[in-house]
């Protein structure tokens, strides 16, 4: 390498220590510095100058809040904050656990209610079925046909036991605001409430048991009307069918 | 306790040593980051980042490679220049001739010999011609390469190189005389 080439490298050292050289030129100089002791000495001198430039600016006191913020990043401040965080975390976890438990309880309660309702319905059906079988087997039971628009069925009446069973097919479903209501009809045409019932959603036929407190012989027939969901004192809705004893 | 001992304690997680170094050098770090970023909020953030790096990297400091303030201020300069690039701000030129600032550079009786040399460097910079001071400012405090300085000032690249070299040669002469 000629002295002229070395001089060119040496002249670039001030820019190098200031970080102002383009990258490729800096690489070439670094490569040269590995083999050139005089340039390394020059580099050390200029580096001392550039380092002193770091301290040239007159000191300025930063805002006091900066020191406090830095302290907040130190482990002791983090540890102080940790228990409160842990406590909050535990509370949060406890809260979530309570909500989950509450939700499970509500879910379980609703499931139990649903199962109880299904059980009651099944029990009623079973009782109704057993009553039907018992009445069919009983020699004094009268079997009367039920006929109406698109509806057919049988009314089983046992006057000695003041019991009757309505068995109908294709009884239309009602919305939740309505119900079917049975009426016992006396010779003067007066109606006595004999109970409300709704069609089984999953069965093609509907059965309803009627147990009268009065002697069934005092009545001449049974009628069924559509009434509000809670039932009525007297028939108010459309008649579905009527069977005379 | 000297800087090297304090740095060693910081490396061991000594918070008191860390705060001692903060109290000792925060005003220099903040001054440098202010000079580079020219915005008090950004300078504050850069100062905070610099000291957090001191806290996490104190074990990397080697006293045989240089003094702690130089190491710390080198970190501060890089941190501030990174932030400057992130903000993509164009450089603004400082005259560096604020009389108030100059007054603060006059050594008092408590000034250490090293600080006294830094103060003399401040005067050396002040004595540079306006052109020389400008290229030095753009190179060192704004992080521009010689090519970028030439584009910014619309000067030939050769002129930038010559003036930068001349400025540094003058500083070196005056620095060496102290």
**Does B176 lie at the interface with A, CB-CB under 8 angstroms?**
yes
Shared domain for B130 and B177, answered yes or no, is yes
Binary contact (B15, A11; C-beta < 8 A): no
Q: Is B4 found in the same domain as B35? A: yes
- Say yes or no to pLDDT of A230 above 90: no
State whether B140 and A18 contact (CB < 8 Å): yes
Among chain A residues, the shortest Cα distance to B15 is held by A74
Q: CB-hemisphere CA count at 13 Å for B106?
A: 4
**Which of A80-89, A125-134, B161-170 has the lowest average pLDDT?**
A80-89
CA–CA gap between residue A38 and residue A96 (Å, rounded): 72
Kindly state whether residue B144 falls inside one of the protein's structural domains. yes
Residues B45 and B11 in one domain: yes
Whether the predicted pLDDT of B142 surpasses 50: yes
Q: Choose one of B67, B89, B111: the last residue of a domain.
A: B89
Q: What CATH number is given to the structural domain containing B151?
A: 1.10.10.10
Q: Percent of chain B scored above 70 by pLDDT?
A: 82
Q: What's the average model confidence in pLDDT over A184-213?
A: 85
What is the CA angle A119-A205-A171, rounded to 5?
Answer: 115
The predicted structure's pLDDT at residue A221: 92
Name the CATH architecture for the domain at A142-244. Answer: Sandwich (2.60)
Of B89, B118, B145, at which residue does a domain stop? Answer: B89
Which residues does chain B have within 8 Å of residue A75's beta carbon, measured at their own beta carbons? 13, 15
> Do residues B77 and B117 share a domain?
no
Specify whether the CB–CB gap between A155 and A222 falls below 8 A.
yes
- Give the pLDDT confidence score for residue A113 in this predicted structure: 85
User: What is the pLDDT, as a whole number, of residue B36?
Assistant: 93
- The CATH architecture one would assign to domain A3-53 is Orthogonal Bundle (1.10)
Q: Which of A66-70, A139-143, A157-161, B135-139 has the lowest mean pLDDT?
A: A139-143
Could you tell me if the ipTM is greater than 0.90? no
pLDDT band at residue A139 using 50, 70 and 90 as cut-offs: low
**How near does any CA of chain B get to the CA of A17, in Å?**
9
The answer to whether A146 and A153 are in contact (CB under 8 A) is yes
Verify that B107 and B39 share a domain, yes or no: no
Q: How far apart are CA A213 and CA A192, in angstroms?
A: 11
The distance from CA A92 to its chain's CA centroid, rounded to whole angstroms, is: 20
| pLDDT value of position A82 | 56
What pLDDT does residue B37 have? 93
Q: What is the mean pLDDT of residues B74-83?
A: 93
> Do the chains contact at B121 and A60, CB–CB below 8 Å?
no
When pLDDT is averaged across residues B43-48 and rounded to a whole number, the result is 95
Range of the domain at B140: 100-178
Of A40-54, A103-117, A132-146, B126-140, which range is least confident? A132-146
CATH of the domain at B6: 1.10.1740.10
B110 within domain boundaries:
yes
Do B63 and B144 have their domain in common?
A: no
Residue B77 sits in the same domain as residue B158: no
Predicted pLDDT at A3:
84
Examine the domain organization and report whether B81 and B104 are in the same domain.
no
- Indicate whether A155 pLDDT > 60: yes
Question: Which residues on neighbouring strands pair with residue A156, listed in sequence order?
Answer: A143, A165
Question: CA of B159 to nearest chain A CA: how many angstroms apart?
Answer: 13
Q: Residues B152, B144: contact at Cβ < 8 Å?
A: yes
The enclosing H or E element of A156 equals strand A151-158
Give residue limits of the domains in chain A.
3-53, 142-244
Within-domain flag for B8? yes
Mean pLDDT of chain A: 85
Query: Same structural domain for residues B63 and B142?
Result: no
Tell whether the model's pLDDT for residue B23 goes beyond 90.
yes
Is the per-residue pLDDT at A162 higher than 80? Answer: yes
Residues B73 and B22 in one domain: yes
Asked if residue A120 has pLDDT above 80, the reply is: no
- Is the same domain home to B138 and B80? no
Residues B41 and B115 in one domain: no
pLDDT of res. B54: 94
Among B65, B89, B113, identify where a domain stops: B89
Contacts of B18 in chain A (CB under 8 A): 74
HEC profile for chain B?
A: CCHHHHHHHHHCCCHHHHHHHHHHHHHHHHHHHHHHHCCHHHHHHHHHHHHHHHHHHHHHCCHHHCCHHHHHHHHHHHHHHHHHHHHCCCCCCCCCCCHHHHHHCCCCCCCCHHHHHHHHHHHHHHCCCHHHHHHHHHHHHCCCCHHHHHHHHCCCHHHHHHHHHHHHHHHHHHHHHC
Q: Band the pLDDT of A15: cuts 50, 70, 90.
A: very high
Q: Which of A185-199, B13-27, B63-77, B84-98 has the highest mean pLDDT?
A: B13-27
Encode burial over A113-138: b for 16+ CB neighbours within 10 A, e otherwise. eeeeeeeeeeeeeeebeebbeebeee
How many structural domains is chain B composed of? 2
pLDDT of A167: 87
């Amino acid at each position: 390498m000629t002295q002229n080439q070395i001089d060119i490298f040496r002249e670039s050292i001030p820019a190098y220590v200031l970080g102002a050289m383009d990258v490729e030129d800096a690489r070439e100089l670094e490569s040269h510095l590995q083999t050139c002791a005089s340039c390394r000495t020059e580099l050390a001198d200029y580096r001392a100058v550039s380092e002193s430039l770091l301290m040239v600016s007159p000191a300025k006191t930063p805002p006091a809040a900066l020191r406090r913020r830095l302290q907040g990043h130190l482990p002791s401040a983090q540890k102080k904050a940790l228990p409160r965080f842990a406590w909050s975390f535990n509370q949060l976890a406890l809260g979530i656990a309570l909500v989950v438990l509450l939700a499970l309880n509500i879910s379980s309660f609703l499931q139990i209610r649903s199962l109880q309702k299904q059980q009651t319905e099944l029990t009623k059906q079973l009782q109704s079925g057993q009553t039907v079988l018992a009445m069919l087997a009983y020699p004094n039971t009268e079997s009367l046909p039920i006929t109406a628009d698109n509806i057919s069925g049988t009314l089983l009446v046992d006057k000695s036991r003041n019991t009757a069973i309505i068995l109908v097919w294709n009884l239309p479903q009602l919305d939740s605001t309505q119900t079917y209501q049975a009426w016992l009809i006396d010779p003067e045409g007066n109606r006595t409430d004999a109970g409300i019932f709704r069609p089984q959603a999953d069965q093609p036929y509907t059965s309803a048991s009627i147990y009268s407190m009065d002697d069934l012989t005092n009545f001449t027939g049974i009628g069924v009307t559509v009434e509000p969901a809670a039932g009525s004192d007297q028939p108010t809705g459309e008649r579905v069918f009527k069977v005379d004893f | 306790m000297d800087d090297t001992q304090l740095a060693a304690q910081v490396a061991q997680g000594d918070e008191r040593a860390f705060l001692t170094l903060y109290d000792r050098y925060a005003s220099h770090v903040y001054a440098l980051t202010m000079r580079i970023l020219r915005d008090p909020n950004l300078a504050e953030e850069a100062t905070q980042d610099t000291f957090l790096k001191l806290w996490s990297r104190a074990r990397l400091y080697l006293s045989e490679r240089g003094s702690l303030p130089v190491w710390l201020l080198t970190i501060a300069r890089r941190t501030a220049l990174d932030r400057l690039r992130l903000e993509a701000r164009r450089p603004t030129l400082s005259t560096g001739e604020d009389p108030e600032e100059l007054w603060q550079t006059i050594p008092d009786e408590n000034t250490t010999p090293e600080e006294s040399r830094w103060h003399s460097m401040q005067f050396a910079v002040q004595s540079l011609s306006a052109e020389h001071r400008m290229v030095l400012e753009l190179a060192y405090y704004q992080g521009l390469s010689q090519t970028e300085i030439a584009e910014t000032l619309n000067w030939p690249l050769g002129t930038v190189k010559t003036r930068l070299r001349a400025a540094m040669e003058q500083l070196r002469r005056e620095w060496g005389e102290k």
